[in-house]
Amino acid sequence: MTSQPAMTLMETAAPARQGSVVNIERSERELRRQLTRFSKWMYRLGFAPGTSGNLSVRLDEESILATPTGCSKYLLRPSDMVIANLNGKLLSGTRNVTSEIGMHVAVYAARPDVQAVVHAHPPIATAFASCGMALDQPLCAELLMTLGKIPLASYATTGTDEVGASLEPYLLDHDAILMANHGLVTYGQDLLDAFMKLETTEHFAQVCLAAHQLGCATPLGEEAIGKLQQARLRYRSNCRM
């Protein structure tokens, strides 16, 4: 029997290093696919007409992967996504960063638990935002328990620091924020979570609109609201674990 020569440190370390590089590449590829999938989904639901709306996800501790500016969400391909730092500056990509990147980086800065941010202009929720109305009436039990009241951030000019400043008062206690005369931003532990909050908010806006059209919307009472708020605290702590 011939004995095998002992492996040098270089030889043993190389496969592990290659493996981690491969894993990082795989996870970026997967996130590019996810951004493409949710972009199309958002477009099909009518939440992002034209070239509006944008999505992002944390790539690592220093960068995010995001949809680029000026593209239909229906036509995006994985290779169109851009990488930006946590100040919103382009690091790599063949397209430009969205002018709304400030909204995304404000969320990531305030909420280390957040992994993904979605911004869109769903029509009914945006109508509420354009009428200066928050979605804060206690009409639906499940919404109170999951998202709570959805506040309305003051109007801010797109592409300026005003956007992050307008969201700041609500970021810690809310996962969905209406933006006055603009749209909606939601965020969560991954793209699916952020997207579901977007969809849920638009559905609640439709329910609110219909309830008020019926003329007899009946808000929940204080006792019911208190119980739901307790349930929400448990729900949020479970989600952030």
Stretch binding Zn ion (CB under 5 A), from 4-12, 40-48, 175-183, 229-237:
175-183
The residue number with the shortest CB distance to Zn ion is 183
Residues 183 to 202 in contact with Zn ion, rule: CB under 5 A: 183
Stretch binding Zn ion (CB under 5 A), from 65-73, 137-145, 148-156, 178-186:
178-186
State in angstroms the smallest separation of the CB of 182 from Zn ion.
6
Cα–Cα distance measured from residue 61 to residue 59, given in angstroms and rounded to the nearest whole number: 7
State in angstroms the smallest separation of the CB of 236 from Zn ion.
26
**In the annotation, is 100 catalytic?**
yes
Residue nearer to Zn ion on the CB measure, 137 or 201: 201
Which among 11, 25, 28, 100 is annotated as catalytic? 100
Half-sphere exposure of 32 (CA within 13 A, CB side): 15
Give me the phi and psi of 94, to 5 degrees please.
-95, -5
Residue nearer to Zn ion on the CB measure, 183 or 188: 183
Residue 106 structure tokens: 């404000």
Say which residue the tokens 């944008």 belong to: 54
What does the DSSP 8-state code read for residue 7? P
State in angstroms the smallest separation of the CB of 55 from Zn ion.
12
State in angstroms the smallest separation of the CB of 181 from Zn ion.
10
Number of residues lying near Zn ion (CB under 5 A): 1
Stretch binding Zn ion (CB under 5 A), from 13-21, 60-68, 167-175, 177-185:
177-185
Rg (CA), the chain: 21
Report helix, strand or coil for 9: helix
Residue nearer to Zn ion on the CB measure, 129 or 144: 129
- What are the DSSP calls for 61-106, one per residue? SSEEEEPBTT--TTT--GGG-EEEETTS-EEE-SSPBPTTHHHHHH
Residue nearer to Zn ion on the CB measure, 79 or 160: 160
Return the closest-CA partner of residue 64 out of 33, 101, 34, 100: 101
Which residues would be at the binding site for Zn ion (CB under 5 A)? Answer: 183
Where in the sequence numbering do the catalytic residues fall?
100
